[in-house]
Amino acid sequence: MHSGEPVAHPDVLIIGAGIAGLSLATALGREGFRVTVIDGAARPEPPSESRDLDAWDLRVSALTPASIEFLQSLGAWQAIPADRTGCYTGMRVWDAQGSGSIAFSAGEVAAPFLGHIVENRLTLSALLRCAESTAGVEVLWQHALDSMALTDQGWQIHCESGEAFSAPLTVGADGARSKVRSLTAMPSRQWSYEQSAIVGTIALRTPHQDTCWQAFLDTGPLALLPLADEDKVAMVWSLDQAKHESVVALNDEAFLAQLNRALAGDAPEAMALGPRVSFPLMQCHAVDYVDEGLVLVADAAHSIHPLAGQGMNLGLSDVRVLAQELANASASGLPVSSPVALKRYQRQRKTENLAMMAAMEGFKRGFGSANPLAVIARNVGLNLVDQREGLKRWFMKQALS
């Protein structure tokens, strides 16, 4: 059965046909579950094949080998055009306020690569094809969530179109501003980083050398992530609110000059700029990921600073663990909404997600400080890690998983 054929009584109803929702639908469909996915948006158009500077998706992710392996198991990685993924084998991190720097290379841990920079829309497009060709899965577009009510049969979902759905298990995969989380009053802790990120595609004067370049400035981190074309990178520049407005307002020429000044010759020179957008940075973490007949995944459960491009990897890990726990529960004869399976998922994922959020918060605070002692400490720290092979390999293994 394909997405055109209705699923009469789904076991799982997923709200949100993004990367998390579609990967979960595919994984569960392959385990024999009947799954319905609803989303308020129209079905996305196939991605552009143009390689012009203004044709690249402004949203990219640094997919780790573990995430790539999971996407391969779903058949999605194979569906992403290989000539559009930026395989990176090196990483350079430095403190613009001092002399501390660290360089990682895949060869140091005998890995073929550290990760791939992939446009989000390509990952989404590949996963949509996988979900639509998986038996037992239907994807319904233009079905915006309106209200939810808990019944004896699970959550009753009402759409703005007037249609209603219900399933024993409902999954909120509807992003950082999750309507599922707010409608069900699942408490969350959120705070602003007091920063905004500017993202865009940059053409370089010299090749990016398959390397991620990351500078820690006193106004926030700046990253250049290598795209599939050797002269193009995705830029993610996080700036304190006080500084952000004036940088956003610059014309392209002035913006490039400011960008190159910030990079201070430690990275390839930026030569041309595609469209750019900016958005405020928030951190949000649901107090609980699970409730009766309900579970949150990916950004609906936790959203973090884009500092290391880890948000997508955390979300895919959520999906992988949840699908595995539901399959294990089913094999043991437990219902799909079994609190045992849901709590096992929460226990595993909350630990890792909180650890990553704490690390990002530490980086943000440690590197965002102009205090001379903090500057010395972080420079010594970076240089120390760079010189200690064992410590460095440990850091890299964390980044690969």
What percent of the chain is predicted at pLDDT more than 70? 86
With cut-offs at 50, 70 and 90, classify the pLDDT of residue 388: low
The per-residue pLDDT for 349 is 96
> For residue 263, what are its two tokens?
């990079």
- Under 8 Å between Cβ of 263 and 213: yes
Residue 389 scores a pLDDT above 90? no
Contacts of 44 (CB under 8 A, 6+ apart): 121, 124, 125, 128
213 pLDDT more than 90: yes
From the DSSP assignment, how many helices (H) and strands (E) are in the chain?
Answer: 10, 20
Q: How many CB atoms lie within 10 A of CB 164?
A: 12
* Alpha-carbon torsion (232, 234, 239, 244), positive or negative: positive
Instruction: Tell which wins on pLDDT, 17 or 98.
Output: 17
The predicted pLDDT at position 220 comes to 85
Q: Strand 12-15 to strand 35-38: parallel, antiparallel, or no bridges (unpaired)? A: parallel
Locate the domains of the chain by residue range: 12-44+53-388+393-400
Look at residue 257 and tell me whether its pLDDT is greater than 50: yes
| pLDDT band, very low/low/confident/very high, at 2 (cuts 50, 70, 90) | very low
CATH of 12-44+53-388+393-400, one of 2.30.30.90, 3.30.70.100, 3.50.50.60, 1.10.357.10: 3.50.50.60
Q: Give the amino acid at 5.
A: E
Is residue 330 over pLDDT 70?
A: yes
Residue 297 vs residues 158, 200, 215: alpha-carbon distances, Å: 20, 27, 31
Taking 60 as the threshold, does the pLDDT of residue 376 lie above it? Answer: no
Tell me what the pLDDT averaged over the chain comes to. Answer: 89
Quick one: how far is CA 371 from the chain centroid? 31
CB atoms within 10 A of CB 47: 20
Tell me the pairing of strands 90-95 and 211-217.
Answer: parallel
Which contiguous run of DSSP H or E holds residue 394?
A: helix 389-400
